[in-house]
Structure 1
Amino acid sequence: MAVLDQIDQSDQIDEPARGHRPRDGGRRRTTGRPPWMGTPSPTTRALKVVVIAMIGVVMLYPFLYVIMFSFADAGSVTSGQLIPTSFSTVAYESIFAGGVVTRSLLVTAGVTLVGTTLSLFFTAMLAYGLTRTRDVPFAKGAMVLVLCTMFFGAGIIPNYLLIKQLGLLDSYWALILPGLISAFNMIVMRNFFMELPQELLESSRIDGASEFRIFFSIVLPLSKAVLAVIALFYAVGYWNSFFNALLYINDTTKWPIQLVLNQYVVQGSALSDLQAPDRPAPPAQTVQMAIVVVATIPILLVYPFAQRFFTKGVLTGAIKG
Structure 2
Amino acid sequence: MAVKHSRFDRFLLTLNAIFLTLAILIIVVPLVYIVVASFMDPTVLLNQGLSFKVSDWSLDGYQMILSNPAMLRGFANSLLYSSAFVLLTVTVSICAGYALSDQRLAGRHFFMTLFIITMFFSGGLIPTYLLVRELGMLDTVWAVIIPGAVNVWNIILSRTFFKGVPNELKEAANVDGASDIMIFFRIVLPLSKPIIFVLALYAFVGQWNAFFDAMIYLDDPKLHPLQLVLRSILIQNQAAPGMISDQLAMAELKRLSEMIKYSAIVVSSLPLLIMYPFFQKYFEKGVMVGSLK
- Tell me if TM exceeds 0.5: yes
Question: Greater helix percent: which structure?
Answer: 2
Tell me if 1:269 matches 2:269.
Answer: no
Please state if 1:298 is matched with 2:259.
no
Is 1:99 aligned to 2:69, yes or no? yes
C-alpha change, 1:200 and 1:48, in structure 2 (3 Å) is: closer
1:149 — aligned with what? 118
Correspondence for 1:118 among 64, 68, 88: 88
Question: What SS does the aligned partner of 1:83 have?
Answer: coil
Gaps of 5+ in 1: 1-30, 272-280
Aligned-pair identity (%): 33
Taking a change above 3 Å as real, the CA distance of residues 199 and 54 of structure 1, as seen in their structure-2 partners, is: closer
> Alpha-carbon deviations, 1:50-76, whole Å to 9, x = none?
554444333322222222221112552
**Residue among 38, 47, 67 paired with 1:70:** 38
- 1:231 matched to 2:200: yes
Describe the superposition over 1:231-261 as per-residue Cα deviations: whole angstroms up to 9, x where unpaired.
Answer: 1111111111111111111111111111123
| 1:185-240 Cα deviation digits (max 9, x unpaired) | 11111111011110110121222212211111111101111111111111111111
Higher CA-based Rg: 1
The question of whether the paired residues in 1 share the 8 Å contact of 2:75 and 2:225 is answered with yes
1:179 matched to 2:148? The reply is yes
User: Greater shift after overlay, 124-133 or 300-309?
Assistant: 300-309
2:10 to 32, 39, 56: 39
Cα distance, 1:55–1:187 mapped onto 2, change above 3 Å:
closer
Note if contact 1:169-1:248 (Cα within 8 Å) is conserved in structure 2: yes
Alpha-carbon distance change, 170 to 35 in structure 1, aligned in 2, over 3 angstroms: farther
SS at match of 2:132: helix
Alignment RMSD: 2.6
Instruction: Kindly provide the amino acid, as one letter, of the partner of residue 29 in structure 2.
Output: Y
What CA distance in whole angstroms lies between the structure 1 residues aligned with 2:136 and 2:201?
Answer: 29
- Give the unaligned 5+ runs of structure 2: 239-252
Give how far 1:112 is off. 0.8
- Kindly tell me: are residues 244 and 89 of structure 1, through their superposed partners in 2, closer, same or farther at Cα, counting changes over 3 Å? same
Distance 2:283 2:220 in 1: 38
Cα distance in 2 between the residues matched to 1:142 and 1:52: 42
2:169 & 2:23 partners in 1: Cα distance? 47
The 1-side partners of 2:28 and 2:159 are apart by 36
Counterpart CA distance in 2 for 1:139 and 1:55 is: 42
The answer to whether the 8 Å contact 2:42/2:258 transfers is no
Residue 83, structure 1, aligned to residue 51, structure 2: yes
Secondary structure of the 2:10 match is: coil
Residue 98 of structure 1, CA deviation: 1.5
Does the 8 Å contact 2:71/2:230 carry over to 1? Answer: no
What SS is found at the alignment partner of 2:147? Answer: helix
Please tell me the residue identity of whatever aligns with 1:288.
K
Secondary structure of 2:136 counterpart:
coil
TM-score, normalised via structure 1 length: 0.77
- Name 2:78's counterpart in structure 1: 108
Which residue in 2 is equivalent to 1:285? 258
**Which amino acid in the other structure matches residue 318 of structure 1?**
S
Aligned to 1:6: none
In structure 2, the CA distance between the partners of 1:309 and 1:283, relative to structure 1 (3 Å rule), is same
Query: Does the aligned pair in 1 maintain the 2:77–2:225 contact within 8 Å?
Result: yes
Number of aligned positions between the proteins = 274
Give a deviation string over 1:86-105, Cα, whole Å, max 9, x none.
11212111211121111111
Using the TM superposition, give the Cα deviation of residue 141 of structure 1 relative to its aligned residue in structure 2, in angstroms.
2.5
Structure 2 CA distance for partners of 1:58 and 1:171, relative to 1, 3 Å: same
Aligned mates of 1:270, 1:283 — CA distance in 2: 7
Alignment-mate amino acid for residue 269 of structure 1: Q
